[in-house]
Structure 1
């Protein structure tokens, strides 16, 4: 089963990120500012991992002249995105699937938020390369996901901090500990150095860290301009 195909998990989804991701709303605002440096009026932005619609809503409300293409493998999460967007859906095209489902167009920018940590290194590299293929030369890609040291003692320390943040935000301690354990056991999390190397290998340049919140990191990187 896909991580977000369970109806109960989908129904609760909107409650999770604000309590589990430090500065969740600010992450969206920072991503928007980075996109706005390059996206022209009436520009087009590709949003990979768009299910739920939370970042699409933030983006569309802030930039009513932009058009968005959202891609997600979960039909249930895309249905939630439609409900979340409401009238803003007029700015958005939604596609069920993975990056190869995204129309083979050239976009002014792309985002992939809270998604890449579900993919193996090989899948991430392929996804990043396909994202690059769909960007105009010099266009930005904004990514953010779990990324922390994989040295056992360091990893455990960061996951403990992740759980403590969740508890401080109102998550029950038992649930916070379960979530941290699941990240360690099930997600192919990489170190920040490994994440940056994959971006370079995929053909991105000028890679800059713009966000760090306990176990999460976010980067902006740019299509290297080569054919």
Structure 2
């Protein structure tokens, strides 16, 4: 995640997800709709990994009564989030840090999009448990990130599909190939069944897969 403290990476951030994540805008809309199933009209949402502000803006535009806490470890990314939000920022508090720096209060819902794949299994376990402790009973958590089969053949096959999508979206071919190497070697990736097991271990109930786009998967689960 150190690249998100680099000024050039931050400046390019807004273009990246659209070109690399299949159905990126639809993913945001689905996350908002899943939250809305349980979150009241005046709900308070915790957005972990909020730097850039893309999902914060989408959620705030869709739900005028919701308030948000956006948490991210990168000061530059939070500045970008503030710029992205514009006049919507009056309903958003931005906090530099990790989940442990978030206030120990009961939120009506939470999201963690395109973030958990940067964390080791132990860090994910800690983060998910900390998220669960900050949610009201029955509150939803929506997560989405890289997660695909981790056997050698399956891993290579799915990463090639990811690269093909990125290339078809305008990412230069050499960059797509570099992304395969970087994702496969540097990210602590987990298979979908491991992700679901971690959600259960952290205390979440009713985990359901709602999104699958090549190497990306998304789940909604609920605090007990």
Give the TM-score of the pair, scaled to structure 1: 0.98
Q: Determine the structure 2 residue equivalent to 1:190.
A: 190
Deviations 1:144-167 (A, max 9, x none): 000001101100000000000001
Unaligned runs of 5+ in 1: none
For 1:23 and 1:216, the matched residues in 2 are separated by 10
Q: Determine the structure 2 residue equivalent to 1:219.
A: 219
Report whether the alignment pairs 1:155 with 2:146.
Answer: no
Q: Determine the structure 1 residue equivalent to 2:72.
A: 72
Deviation of the 1:3 alpha carbon: 3.0
Q: Determine the structure 2 residue equivalent to 1:25.
A: 25
For 1:26 and 1:217, the matched residues in 2 are separated by 13
Residue 19 of structure 2 aligns to a residue whose secondary structure is helix
Q: Determine the structure 1 residue equivalent to 2:108.
A: 108
Deviations 1:68-96 (A, max 9, x none): 00000000100000000000000100000
4+ residue segments displaced more than 2 Å: none
Unaligned runs of 5+ in 2: none
Residue 221 of structure 2 aligns to a residue whose secondary structure is strand
Report whether the alignment pairs 1:204 with 2:204.
Answer: yes
For 1:3 and 1:128, the matched residues in 2 are separated by 23
Residue 42 of structure 2 aligns to a residue whose secondary structure is coil
Q: Determine the structure 2 residue equivalent to 1:2.
A: 2
Deviation of the 1:18 alpha carbon: 0.3
Number of residue-to-residue matches in the alignment = 224
Q: Determine the structure 2 residue equivalent to 1:131.
A: 131
For 1:220 and 1:120, the matched residues in 2 are separated by 20
